[in-house]
Amino acid sequence: MPIVNIMVTREGTKPGADSVTAEEKARLIRGVSELLLDVLNKPFDSTFVTIQEIELDSWGRSGLTVPEYRKRQAGK
């Protein structure tokens, strides 16, 4: 029974959006399930997928929150 956890930052993929849309989440779930079926022969009914959206200031890289990291990258 595969369990897949997808973690993304809480921000939209289009201008004006502040989170991943229900359609995008459905596509992720479908795509991951299809990948597990194709690669490992795991049937859809045994695959579980969760999606967690993390606030930007709760996600870090290189010792910085995502907003601060992006600011520094933009200044380079």
15 an active-site residue? no
Fold of 3-74: Macrophage Migration Inhibitory Factor (3.30.429)
pLDDT of residue 49: 98
Residue in the structure block whose two tokens are 């959006």:
17
Domain boundaries, the chain: 3-74
Summarize pLDDT for 11-31 with one digit per residue, the tens.
878 777 888 999 999 999 999
Could you give the CA distance from residue 4 to residue 37 in angstroms, rounded to a whole number?
A: 13
Summarize pLDDT for 39-51 with one digit per residue, the tens.
999 999 999 999 9
Name the catalytic one among 2, 15, 43, 67: 2
Whether pTM exceeds 0.85:
no
